[in-house]
Amino acid sequence: MNPNPTPPIRSPYRKRRRLIGDRGGHFLSRVEGATAANISACYQCERCTNACPVAHFMDIKPHQVMRFTQLGWREELLASTTVWVCLSCEMCTTYCPNEVHVAEVILHLRAMASRSTETPKEIVLAEFHETFLRELQRFGRVNEFWLMAALGLRPGVARAKMASGDWKKEIALGWTLLRKGRLRPIPHRCRAMRGIRRLYRRRRREGA
């Protein structure tokens, strides 16, 4: 008998337990229903990924997002960098030969990720997303001065900027923009505030 047995190799692709409610068909039809995207029609030609300007920074490429959705791999999608890195430029949707609304699906997954308990892989981008929506709800339009100030005060962002030293560069840049009149510290409220808040309330009810 071998006194030093070789330890078993742990595969990085070990299957994870999946929730019954998120098995393939169920998750797929839920996302298709919410986005009106015909994800089932995707045949993995990869044109969406080739057209995407930031695919290089994504851990799950746009065509893989479609495949993962077909398979119901919800956890992997919500924990990906892709949902935060996407610019919503819609190049993927434009180039898809099957008219699959890829960008709409990624946007929907981002909204799901922001409501989930999963820690986002891209903390700064996730915080930016949250802060942007909050500022929009406050003023009805985004004021760059208040957006950057609110973002810089978010704990995750403040920690990351202190660690990288980026805060010095940002303060210098903000001061330059302020002197040149490119930043407006006094925010203007949009006249359609009531309608915007109503939209937010409706989205919250639908997301609950």
Interacting residues toward ligand SF4 by CB under 6 A: 42-48, 51-52, 54, 62-63, 66, 86-92, 96, 98, 100, 102-103, 106
CB of 56 to ligand SF4, least distance (A): 10
3-state secondary structure of 191: coil
Closer to ligand SF4 by Cβ: residue 44 or 116:
44
Instruction: Please name the residue that has the structure tokens 């919410």.
Output: 34
Phi, psi of 165 (to 5 degrees): 80, 5
Task: For residue 129, give every residue at least 6 positions away whose Cβ sits within 8 Å of its Cβ, in sequence order, or none.
Answer: 84, 110, 114
Closer to ligand SF4 by Cβ: residue 94 or 176:
94
CB of 95 to ligand SF4, least distance (A): 6
Token reading at 208: 């609950």
CB of 80 to ligand SF4, least distance (A): 12
CB of 164 to ligand SF4, least distance (A): 24
CB of 127 to ligand SF4, least distance (A): 19
Closer to ligand SF4 by Cβ: residue 42 or 78:
42
Scored b (16 or more CB within 10 A) or e, 94-131 reads ebbeeebbbbbbbbbbbebbbeeeeebbbbbbbbbbbb
Is residue 154 a contact partner of residue 131, using CB atoms and an 8 Å limit?
A: yes
d(CA 136, CA 139): 6
Closer to ligand SF4 by Cβ: residue 92 or 113:
92
CB of 91 to ligand SF4, least distance (A): 4
Closer to ligand SF4 by Cβ: residue 106 or 150:
106
Closer to ligand SF4 by Cβ: residue 91 or 148:
91
The sign one gets for the Cα dihedral 38, 41, 44, 45 is negative
3-state percent helix, strand, coil for the chain, nearest multiple of 5: 60, 0, 40
